[in-house]
Structures are given as C-alpha cells and as structure tokens.
Amino acid sequence: MTMGSSMTERSKIRYNRLKFSDHFFSLFSSIMSTTQTPKFVLQNNNDPEQQSATALEMEPEDSFDYSKRSQWLRAAVLGANDGLVSTASLIMGVGAVKQDKKAMILSGIAGLVAGACSMAIGEFVSVYSQLDIEVAQMKREKERGKGGERGEDEEKESLPNPLHAAGASALAFAVGALVPLLAASFISDYRVRVGVVMASVTLALVLFGWLGAVLGKAPVVRSAVRVLLGGWMAMAITFGVTKWIGLSGLLA
C-alpha cells in the first residue's frame, strides 16, 4: 500500500468519526427507524416490477449495516456523556466541601460553558486539520490523474465541515451537562440535592448507554452497565478527592 492510499484510508476513517455532526439532529428519527414496522402491500403476482418492489420493501432489517453510523453515533453519545459526567462530577466535588446551593450551581454553569467551548474549539481545530489533509490529498490525486470518477461537487460534499462538527460537539456536551445542572437548581436541602443529582445522572447514564446500544445494535445491558459504572466511578473519585483535600486542610 502506497503512502497516498494509506493517507486516504486514514482520512476516510477520520471523516466517518466526524460524520455525527451531520446526523446529530436526526437522532430521534433514527430511533424511530429502528422500530418501524414492515410494510405490506397487495401485489399482482403477474407484475414483475411490483414483485421486485415488494421484495425490497420486505427486506429484513438485519441487512442494514449498522457500522456505517457507529462512528458518528459514538462521537455524539460520547459528547453528551462527557458533558453529563464532567458537570455532575464538578457539582459533586464542589458540594463535598461547600454545601452552598449557589456554589454548586455556579460550578455546574462554569463546567457547562467551559466544556462546550473546549469541545467546540478542539473539534474545529481537529476537523480543520483533517480538511487541509483531505484537500491536499485530493489535489495530489488530481495532479496524478487519479481523481476517480467523482465530480468536483461530490468531492466537496464529502469533505468534513469544521463549523458543523464544532457546533454539534458543543451541543452534545451542553445537552449532557444540563441534566445535573437542572437537577441541582431547584433543591434547597443539601442531602436531597445530592440525592436528586445522583438519581438524575444515573437515569441519564442508563439512557445514553441504552441509546448507543439500540442505534448500534449492540448488547443493551452490557452497554448501559458499562456507561453507568464509568459515570459513578468518575463522580465518586472526584467527590472523594475533593472531600479529602477539604478535610486535610491543604488549602487552609
């Protein structure tokens, strides 16, 4: 395999991972498509065209290649999960040493804004670098006469969009971060507030795990448990370390 073809393969893999920015806003329609009932039509057995169309309509769902959407799905779910876990951990960590409601909410807002901006900027820089690589590779292939049969418009459409990727990453992070932030905003009692945050985050973690499994046709229970345990571990470590620092007097 030549260096040019190797770069092309890596570009395709990278582009598939970034594909979620174009599909993120059709997430719920994808869920509905997985539960769509088969279509039944009355056919005329003497009509070959109708028989062919009916056969296509009755094609089993298992023939769909779910790996095509695994990359953008992974990026979207990971973005929301990052926002959920990081913001919840930040709220819990601050709450471990300062039980004030205002301090916990402000820390959550800071985490949401900082995380969304970080995700957007990081994704924009990363995708723009990938765009430069793909454009340079297309120019080299065109100069060598190996541009393929695709037209110029089709080649441009296949290129990743840095702005779309940045916006989708920031939105995915913000959606996840809103869960613990809203849960902590309306509870005055500290213990109840912590319990509500833990409960809401637990439900959201299970939902994200289930969502990724359903859309990717992966084992549902295993995916949900894996995401749930990871989120619990992150919050427990943050809470424990912050509590230990507060009790040890290191910041006194």
Residue closest to 169 by CA, chosen among 9, 21, 17: 21
136 near 103, Cβ under 8 Å? no
Structure tokens at 78: 């990971």
Distance separating alpha carbons of residues 133 and 154, to the nearest angstrom = 17
Q: What is the pLDDT of residue 156?
A: 67
Q: What is the pLDDT of residue 110?
A: 95
Instruction: Please give the C-alpha separations between residue 131 and each of 50, 127, 166, 173, in angstroms, as whole numbers.
Output: 44, 6, 13, 23
Q: What is the pLDDT of residue 114?
A: 94
Instruction: Please give the C-alpha separations between residue 106 and each of 54, 91, 176, 202, in angstroms, as whole numbers.
Output: 58, 9, 17, 22
Q: What is the pLDDT of residue 71?
A: 57
CB neighbours of 14 closer than 8 A, spacing ≥ 6? Answer: 130, 160
Beta strands in 169-241 (DSSP E): none
Instruction: Please give the C-alpha separations between residue 23 and each of 70, 158, 165, 183, 234, in angstroms, as whole numbers.
Output: 11, 14, 10, 28, 29
Residue closest to 129 by CA, chosen among 137, 117, 118: 137
pLDDT (tens place) for every residue of the chain, 252 residues total:
444 444 445 445 455 445 555 554 454 445 444 444 444 444 455 555 555 444 444 444 455 555 545 556 666 777 889 999 999 999 999 999 888 899 999 999 999 999 999 999 988 898 888 888 888 888 887 888 765 555 566 666 667 788 888 888 899 999 999 999 999 998 889 999 999 999 999 999 999 888 878 877 778 898 889 999 999 999 999 999 999 988 887 776
The SS3 call for residue 218 is coil
pTM: 0.66
Q: What is the pLDDT of residue 23?
A: 52
